[in-house]
Amino acid sequence: MSENETPSPKAPPEPSGVDLARVALRAAKEQAKARGAAAQQKKQARRGGGLRSGSGADGRDPLALGAAINRLITERGWETPAAVGGVMGRWPQIVGEDLAKHCVPLKYEEDPEARVLTVQCDSTAWATQLRLLAPRLVARLNEDLGQGTVRIIKVLGPSAGPRRGYGPLRAPGSVGPGDTYG
């Protein structure tokens, strides 16, 4: 070879008879496997379906209670409400014993615009305290439940007692403080 000539790249070797035989054997095995699977399906269909009892697990086997409940929760889309229910059960561990004695979670409402956890406190002082802690509490709840699960904590003060009815000394038809300007 002279200095000006460049060596030509080597062409890939032609497949030999052994390589061709291996490729043909592999293709024949795959075709036979496909035909066998199709024949097995036809045979099972003639026997009344493909479900047969055996030592292996299949879809007809009973589920453990926990697995059945988890499957139901997933199928129905109840993951978030179930998780929030778990939070309501663990409320003292999440907010602390002192706050849990005075503030109780009532309900969780999920609509497209807001995800609201409603909490009722037994005094206005505790309601004010919870309103101040609400941003940290929302962050803590979302840490446990997944981001965006709770967006707002609605804090209710103490429930008003029974409404006072009209007493015996009340003048009928009296509207309030405006009735003295007559």
Q: Which residues of 18-42 are buried (b: 16+ CB within 10 A; e: fewer)?
A: eeeeeeeeeeeeeeeeeeeeeeeee
Cα–Cα nearest to 132, from 155, 159, 149, 106: 155
More confident site: 154 or 173: 154
- pTM of the entire structure? 0.49
Residue 40: what pLDDT?
77
Strands 103-110 and 152-156: unpaired
> Are the beta carbons of 108 and 81 closer than 8 angstroms?
yes
- pLDDT-derived band at 71 (thresholds 50, 70, 90) equals confident
Residue 179: what pLDDT?
41
- pLDDT-derived band at 181 (thresholds 50, 70, 90) equals very low
> Are the beta carbons of 152 and 115 closer than 8 angstroms?
yes
pLDDT digits (tens, 9 = 90+) for 115-171: 888 889 888 888 888 899 889 988 888 887 777 778 888 898 887 555 555 666 666
Residue 174: what pLDDT?
53
Q: Which residues pair with 121 in a beta bridge?
A: 103
Cα–Cα nearest to 103, from 89, 86, 84, 120: 120
State the SS3 of 105-159.
Answer: EEEEEECCCCEEEEEEECCHHHHHHHHHHHHHHHHHHHHHHCCCCCCEEEEECCC
Amino acid at 125: A
- Which burial class, exposed, middle or buried, applies to 126 when counting CB atoms under 10 A from its CB (0-12, 13-18, 19+)? buried
